[in-house]
């Protein structure tokens, strides 16, 4: 019963036609690649915020990298499953990815505000 409630309440990937499902999965994979690029850019960024709080930010970025890699592996598993298990995995991936995107944005946000300050 819990699975039925979960499937009914899940977002995006569930209860769509095959084409919609494929596009939704593709969208998740594109977002995950973009997250990986953002993480790499932040790891290499020479921004002042990274210099001030280098240790804390590096630790957060390393954790993000591990979680992003884990999602890549879960996607591989999701591709090899079928039915409700597959739908549940893709839904979980989508939710986890949304959370990681928010974290990455919060890490990048101070850098954006620093770079947007007027220069004298």
Domain ranges of the chain: 17-113
Which of 98-107's residues contact partners 24+ apart within 8 Å by CB, and which partners?
100/35, 100/64, 100/67, 100/68, 100/71, 101/31, 101/35, 103/60, 103/64, 104/35, 104/38, 104/39, 104/42, 104/64, 107/42, 107/57, 107/60, 107/61, 107/64
Q: Is the pLDDT of residue 49 over 90?
A: no
Per-residue confidence (pLDDT) for residue 33, from 0 to 100: 96
The gap from C-alpha 107 to its chain's centroid, in whole angstroms, comes to 13
Three-state secondary-structure class, residue 29? helix
Q: How far is CA 108 from CA 7, 54, 93, 97, 101, in A?
A: 33, 13, 22, 16, 10
- Which of the two residues, 112 and 73, has the higher pLDDT score? 73
Per-residue confidence (pLDDT) for residue 51, from 0 to 100: 54
Q: How confident is the model at residue 41 (pLDDT cuts 50, 70, 90)?
A: confident
- Which of the two residues, 6 and 30, has the higher pLDDT score? 30
Question: What is the pTM assigned to this prediction?
Answer: 0.70
Distance from C-alpha of 40 to C-alpha of 5, rounded to nearest angstrom: 38
Per-residue confidence (pLDDT) for residue 5, from 0 to 100: 39
Least-confidence region, from 64-68, 83-87, 95-99, 113-117: 113-117
The percentage of residues in the chain with a pLDDT greater than 90, rounded to a whole number, is: 46
């Amino acid at each position: 019963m819990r699975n039925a409630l979960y499937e009914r309440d899940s977002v995006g990937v569930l209860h769509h036609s095959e084409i919609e499902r494929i596009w939704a999965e593709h969208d998740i994979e594109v977002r995950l690649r973009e997250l990986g690029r953002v993480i790499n850019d932040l790891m290499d960024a020479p921004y002042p915020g990274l210099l001030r709080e280098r240790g804390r930010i590096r630790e957060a970025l390393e954790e993000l990298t591990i979680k992003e890699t884990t999602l890549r592996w879960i996607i591989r598993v999701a591709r090899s499953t079928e039915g409700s298990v597959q739908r549940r995995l893709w839904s979980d991936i989508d939710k986890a990815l949304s959370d990681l995107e928010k974290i990455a944005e919060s890490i990048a946000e101070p850098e954006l505000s620093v770079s947007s300050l007027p220069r004298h």
